[in-house]
Amino acid sequence: MTEVLDLASRRRIFEFLEANPGVHLRLIGKVLGMSTGMLSYHLNYMEARGILQSEAEGHRKRYFSAAAFAEAQRRIIAILRQDVPGKIVVEILLHRERTFAQLQAAVGVSKSTLSYHLKKMLQREVLVRDRRERGSLFRLRDPEEVARLLLANLASLRTNALSLPIDNLLRFHV
């Protein structure tokens, strides 16, 4: 591993990803001031040598230090890095479970947008749907792990959903 990180630019990328797990190529390039082509080359090089792992997410790839997170943890962090899914996670963490209507009111998006994100989170096995007579309840598959990852990476998660006062974060019902 050390010979892969001998190059200063690769070491900078690796250190940035250790401090900011789950960021995508454009954000890495913007923060580190690297061109997309050069950055893409180094990310692919380090991923091929097992230093980094990526999590595909639509048209984006989110990058992580290979030794730091298991696959399920990478999926959770990737969700937390997005605005609407991050708000959904925080809302469910604060209340254990929520209905579609409760989530829509809290997150403030259209029904179709919320439905899209809930479906994606169910497919990625971050959420669980409990069907009831009159609708569904959504809850986190592993709220303890989600809360642990959220609190451990709070400094690097910069979405509106996660800019809660610290006392709200300490109220998580896990």
Domain residue limits at 107: 75-169
What is the residue-level pLDDT of the chain in tens, covering all 174 positions? 668 788 999 999 999 999 999 999 999 999 999 999 999 999 999 999 999 999 988 888 999 999 999 999 999 999 999 989 999 999 999 999 999 999 999 999 999 999 999 999 999 999 999 998 888 999 999 999 999 999 888 888 865 455 554 445 555 544
- Residue 174 belongs to a domain: no
φ and ψ of 106, to 5 deg: -75, -40
Encoding tokens for residue 164? 């809660």
Q: Which pTM does this prediction carry?
A: 0.83
- Residue 2 belongs to a domain: no
Indicate whether 51 and 84 sit together in one domain. no
- Residue 1 belongs to a domain: no
- Residue 102 belongs to a domain: yes
Indicate whether 59 and 116 sit together in one domain. no
Decide if 147 contacts 155 (C-beta within 8 A): no
Indicate whether 157 and 94 sit together in one domain. yes
Number of domains forming the structure of the chain: 2
Tell me how far apart the alpha carbons of residues 43 and 53 are, in angstroms, rounded to a whole number.
9
